[in-house]
Structure 1
Amino acid sequence: MIDDVLGDRALELADVTVRRDGKQILHGVSFSVGAGEHWALLGPNGAGKSTILGLCGALTHPTSGVVRVLGAQLGRVELAALRRSIGHVNPRHPLRSPLTVREVVLTGVTGSIELPLRWKPTPAQLAHVDDLLAALGLTGKAEQRWPTLSQGERGRTLIARALVARPRLLLLDEPSTGLDVAAREQLLETIDGLDTTHPEIASILVTHHLEELPSTTTHAVLIANGRVVAAGPAGEVVTSRNVTAAFEHPIDVEHRAGRWSARARRAAAPDSGPDCAEPISAG
């Protein structure tokens, strides 16, 4: 049976290691996510972010250490029931059939990619889907088919699909992948809006681009080489010093109007004069 909460924790990883094919991927990873908190999982390619997200989604088990998701310890719970309480947004959604937007969202009710044969949603389920489509600005797209949607429209559809089962934990796996600047900003506005429409949901967003962090991000964990570089409140973690350490390259981080940006640190010119701009640094 899944407990309602573990104290006020939606997720806890304690001294977690993962080994595959004789290679250790995670080394003593520890952090915990509180109910209603919005975490960013940051790090370079190959750092272990996807492995951690698999643990958070109850898709894989640790080699050692403890993972508790929504109060349930992996290895001691029926996984199918636990997964129904976790929403997962993956822009690489493997849909092949030309389902409509409404039908794609309904697959979140059944926990499938395609709609099951002979399955019919209840009037209450249909009403909930339409409420989500309205909240995400998709009412006018409800009957459009998946292949005709823009990447931004697909992203919002997948968020609605993740929310339709009323999850308590939302995982967003690089949701801005493939989006242009305008579509990215629209998607981030949608994610920011969840803090108001679904304040009880805890979330983890995976990215390696600071510009893709929503302004509602409350906490962050920086990963490098399978180890935690820093974890905690976002303002204390996402700094020039920590990002430089995680990405092993001198990076200057700026936080302005609730959003982050990053650029390579420029070496000072030997004879820099008063007209030379100082690099921005938050660390």
Structure 2
Amino acid sequence: MTANATSGAPQAVAALDAVSVRRYTTGQVILDDITWNVYAGQHWALLGANGAGKTTVLRLIGALMHPTTGTVDVLGHRLGRVDMRELRAHIGLVSSAQKVPLDATAHTVVLTGHTGTVQPLWRKYDAEVRERADALLAELEIKELAERPYGVCSGGQRARILVARALMADPSLLLLDEPFNALDLPSREDLIDALHRLATTRPALTTITVTHHLEELSPAIGHVLLLKEGRVLTSGAAEDVLTAEQMTRCFGRPIEVSRHEGRWLARSGRGTPTAAQ
């Protein structure tokens, strides 16, 4: 399954048009009139306070749910007109909340990415598939973990194992939902380095990363979407969006932003919170 070709204009890998999501039981508005396009080879960060709707946006693009109103197109296919399970097979997803058998080896966990299952389906894994799992572990620089049980791997090692698992289907779109959750500093930096290498060695790969901290963004992140209370506050090139003014508006308190060698840093500024504009 690939994106449908459209002559004249670049094809969006993911496109949300006037998308809203409401909770049926309470009528609560989760997302309100979201319009956003992501193109091949772009690397986006999705930022906002808790409850801003970041994970819901990722679930829409990951073909895990439908919008209440508006349209969502992923890899050239519109949700509601495509088999969601088939579409999900072409999207890589990494989340610290993923269920993985703790006694399975790292190699086995990566193999399950081929079938999109929690438990391994051994008859589906021929020599070529197994070799691909080996190659991905090497690409993420964790080949030495191949026979180590997932449950005894560190948080950073688990995160890279999950990235390798997500790449087993050779997706053109990789979604990362708070992949740095609970990682210590060395593990965080190892994962950032790994994601930066992927962006360099896989120029056609598109990534969207949900995070709370600018320090977790790799230098490959070129675009940012800021969400506030379920609405798009602003989006565009990282250097235009990651400013003190925009971050202060997004999080409702003074924030100072700096950049060093392609890496971003945000910290609380002085003064009184700025009212939402």
Instruction: Give TM-score, length-normalised by structure 2.
Output: 0.93
Indicate if the aligned counterparts of 1:41 and 1:49 stay in contact, CA closer than 8 A.
Answer: yes
DSSP 3-state at the match of 1:65 = strand
2:176 alignment partner in structure 1:
172
Does residue 215 of structure 1 match 2:219?
Answer: yes
Matching residue's letter, 2:53: G
1:233 alignment partner in structure 2:
237
1:218-256 CA distance string (max 9 Å, x none): 101000100001111111111111111110111111122
DSSP 3-state at the match of 2:264 = strand
Structure 2 gaps, min length 5:
273-277
CA distance in 2, matches of 1:162, 1:258: 26
1:144-172 CA distance string (max 9 Å, x none): 00111000100110000000110011000
Matching residue's letter, 1:71: G
Matching residue's letter, 1:10: V
DSSP 3-state at the match of 1:132 = helix
Matching residue's letter, 2:255: I
User: Structure 1 residue 93: deviation in Å?
Assistant: 2.0
Does residue 163 of structure 1 match 2:167?
Answer: yes
CA distance in 2, matches of 1:5, 1:146: 40
Residues 5 and 44 of structure 1: CA distance in aligned 2, closer, same or farther (over 3 Å): farther
Residues 4 and 103 of structure 1: CA distance in aligned 2, closer, same or farther (over 3 Å): farther
Structure 1 stretches of 4+ moved >3 Å:
1-7
CA distance in 2, matches of 1:80, 1:15: 24
1:272 alignment partner in structure 2:
none
| Percent of aligned pairs sharing the same letter | 44
Does residue 11 of structure 1 match 2:14?
Answer: yes
Structure 1 gaps, min length 5:
269-283
Residues 48 and 5 of structure 1: CA distance in aligned 2, closer, same or farther (over 3 Å): farther
Which residue of 84, 87, 101 corresponds with 2:106?
101
Which residue of 139, 145, 148 corresponds with 2:149?
145
Does residue 92 of structure 1 match 2:97?
Answer: yes
1:275 alignment partner in structure 2:
none
Matching residue's letter, 2:141: G
User: Structure 1 residue 126: deviation in Å?
Assistant: 1.0
Matching residue's letter, 2:175: L
1:64-117 CA distance string (max 9 Å, x none): 11110011111111111111110000112212341000000001001011113x
Indicate if the aligned counterparts of 2:13 and 2:75 stay in contact, CA closer than 8 A.
Answer: yes
Indicate if the aligned counterparts of 1:99 and 1:146 stay in contact, CA closer than 8 A.
Answer: yes
2:186 alignment partner in structure 1:
182
2:267 alignment partner in structure 1:
263
Indicate if the aligned counterparts of 2:225 and 2:235 stay in contact, CA closer than 8 A.
Answer: yes
CA distance in 1, matches of 2:103, 2:4: 37
Matching residue's letter, 2:113: G
Indicate if the aligned counterparts of 2:48 and 2:251 stay in contact, CA closer than 8 A.
Answer: yes
Residues 225 and 251 of structure 1: CA distance in aligned 2, closer, same or farther (over 3 Å): same
2:131 alignment partner in structure 1:
127
Indicate if the aligned counterparts of 1:5 and 1:70 stay in contact, CA closer than 8 A.
Answer: no
Which residue of 66, 71, 89 corresponds with 1:61?
66
Does residue 49 of structure 1 match 2:54?
Answer: yes
2:253 alignment partner in structure 1:
249
Residues 99 and 154 of structure 1: CA distance in aligned 2, closer, same or farther (over 3 Å): same
Indicate if the aligned counterparts of 2:3 and 2:13 stay in contact, CA closer than 8 A.
Answer: no
Matching residue's letter, 2:134: D
Residues 19 and 152 of structure 1: CA distance in aligned 2, closer, same or farther (over 3 Å): same
CA distance in 2, matches of 1:19, 1:93: 25
User: Structure 1 residue 5: deviation in Å?
Assistant: 5.0
CA distance in 2, matches of 1:5, 1:65: 22
Indicate if the aligned counterparts of 1:2 and 1:77 stay in contact, CA closer than 8 A.
Answer: no
